[in-house]
Amino acid sequence: MAEKTIPLLPAHSLQPVVDFYTALGFETTYFQKSPYAYVVVERGPVELQFFGMRQYDPAASYSGCYVLTDDVDGLYEAFRAGLKAAYGKVPRRGLPRIGPVKDMSYGVRQFLMTDPAGNSIRVGQAISEDQSMRPVPKETFARALHLADLFVDSKEDLAGAAKVIDRALALEDERPTPAQHLRLLVLRGDIARRTGDEELAGRLLGRAAAIELDADERESARDALDRLAELRS
């Protein structure tokens, strides 16, 4: 027997959802308006189904699904290009939005995006045979980065991540390595940008851009450097 799991996700209005997934390269294979609203979108082997709910609040949504791929960076670039073409820019906050791609502490490289209905779609690729959660590091700044990454790009708790980073950056008796410092500043600047604090974002990202890194440090902070360049463009 061959089984397949298909997520069924809620939406207040289906047309914005169809437009969003069309921009990502999905095909609408079924669209029903009555007796109730229902739509199916497909992109290769990925199929998502949506049902209409008049009283549904996208801003309060907790629904979502995880899409596994063997080319997360390729999908990320394709999705970003499609969204930019459809919306005139890559949406980083509000609904819809797409976050950065990065290596997570549970052996997966992933990015998160949220559709107009508030559904969180996680797209990831295994980069380790062990996808269990790694122990929280004991070193101060490695611990802060570990927790902040989880809050921002797994739980989507921006306020929680900001508190973790702010505490780490305020320490006077310990200092992060240059690569750690850059990653903390970029992540905090990213949070500020996502929450609409452009002044704070500009200051933090400017500080990050001024940090000098050697070749090994640049490699370890590759995703943060890519995000920094995007945020400052």
pLDDT in tens, 129-180: 887 777 889 999 999 999 999 999 888 899 999 999 999 999 999 999 999 9
Is residue 12 located within the same domain as residue 119?
Answer: yes
Instruction: Please give the pLDDT value at position 33.
Output: 93
Residue 3 covered by a domain: no
CB distance 114 to 9 below 8 Å: no
Is residue 117 located within the same domain as residue 17?
Answer: yes
Q: Is the pLDDT of residue 1 over 90?
A: no
Instruction: Please give the pLDDT value at position 175.
Output: 96
- Please write the tens of the pLDDT for every residue from 4-42: 999 999 999 999 999 999 999 999 999 999 999 999 999
What CATH number does residue 120 fall under?
3.10.180.10
Q: Which domain holds residue 170?
A: 136-232
Q: Where are the alpha helices (DSSP H) in 54-157?
A: 72-87, 140-153
Q: Phi and psi at residue 121, in whole multiples of 5°?
A: -110, 115
Is residue 76 located within the same domain as residue 175?
Answer: no
Residue 130 covered by a domain: no
> Span 209-233, mean pLDDT?
95
Instruction: Please give the pLDDT value at position 196.
Output: 92
Residue 57: pLDDT band with limits 50, 70, 90: very high
CB distance 228 to 209 below 8 Å: yes
Residue 1 covered by a domain: no
**Which DSSP helix (H) or strand (E) runs through 123?**
strand 120-126
Q: What share of the chain has pLDDT > 90, as a percent?
A: 89
Residue 131 covered by a domain: no
Helix (H, G, I), strand (E, B) or coil at 168: helix
Number of domains in the chain: 2
Helix (H, G, I), strand (E, B) or coil at 92: coil
Residues with Cβ within 8 Å of 3's Cβ and at least 6 positions away in sequence, in order, are: none
Is residue 25 located within the same domain as residue 113?
Answer: yes
Instruction: Please give the pLDDT value at position 233.
Output: 86
Residues with Cβ within 8 Å of 27's Cβ and at least 6 positions away in sequence, in order, are: 41, 42, 43
Instruction: Please give the pLDDT value at position 215.
Output: 96
Instruction: Please give the pLDDT value at position 134.
Output: 79
What is the C-alpha separation between 62 and 71, in angstroms, rounded? 26
Instruction: Please give the pLDDT value at position 46.
Output: 96
Instruction: Please give the pLDDT value at position 147.
Output: 95
DSSP string, 31-52: EE-SSS-EEEEEETTEEEEEEE
Stated pTM of the model: 0.88
> Span 89-111, mean pLDDT?
93
Instruction: Please give the pLDDT value at position 135.
Output: 86
